[in-house]
Amino acid sequence: MKNMKFNNFFQSKTFKIIIWVVVALIVLLLVFRLGIEVGYKKAQFSYHWGENYHLNFGGPKGGFFLPPNKNDEFISSHGAAGQIIKIDNNNLIIKDKENVEKSVLIKDDTTIFCLRQKIKASDLKTGDFIVVIGDPNNAGQIEAKLIRVMPSPAQINNGVPGQNTFSPKFLRNRLPR
């Protein structure tokens, strides 16, 4: 009789609700943990970026350019997308979409792509629009793992909206002769 009640409980609606609550709590806690992790990384990188600003870019701590969005002042640490404004040996200074300068360190194992071919770091030019994936270091830089040269919004079909193709000028400069 007791066994019957026991079995009925495991097939009851209450038991299903308990299971769903437990699953929802697990998902919620995992997402919360993920949020903490990402937030911590962003905060840490922003701290190092601010601390080393005068070393990386010159100028006051905190930078000349302030992020325009005051609610999201932390800088993303594992990637960047923007225009190269300065090339200094293996160090690229880029200005991202939020007008924040980022220092990107090119290492020996960094893969650089342009169109369908691999290129060298020396092939990168000031004004190129690049997308970088990498890891942050304690000097407030991003150690690049992958760099992809992309047509910037102005280079896409000479800035004509709605036609998402490379402009002839971009292809002329980039295609091998």
Partner 1 sequence: MHPCFVLINRRIKLSFKIMTEKKHRKLANFLASPEPPKDLLEKIMNQIHWEQERRIIKVRFTLFSVLLVTSLIALIPTFKMIQTSFAQSEFINFIQLAFTDTKAIINYFDSFIVAILESLPVMAIALFLFVIFVLLESIKYIAQYSKSLFSPLKTNLKTN
Positions in the binding site for partner 1 (CB under 8 A): 34, 38, 41-42, 69, 71, 76-81, 96-98, 111, 113, 131, 133-135, 145-146, 148, 150
State the minimum distance, in angstroms, from the CB of residue 98 to partner 1. 7
Distance CA 57, CA 78 (A): 19
Residue 59 or 153: which CB sits closer to partner 1? Answer: 153
Assigned token pair, 42: 């962003």
Q: Which residue is listed with tokens 């295609």?
A: 175
- Helix, strand or coil, per DSSP, at residue 121: helix
State the minimum distance, in angstroms, from the CB of residue 127 to partner 1. 17
CA distances to 30, 125, 126, 171 from 129, in Å: 35, 9, 9, 14
State the minimum distance, in angstroms, from the CB of residue 157 to partner 1. 16
Residue 63 or 134: which CB sits closer to partner 1? Answer: 134
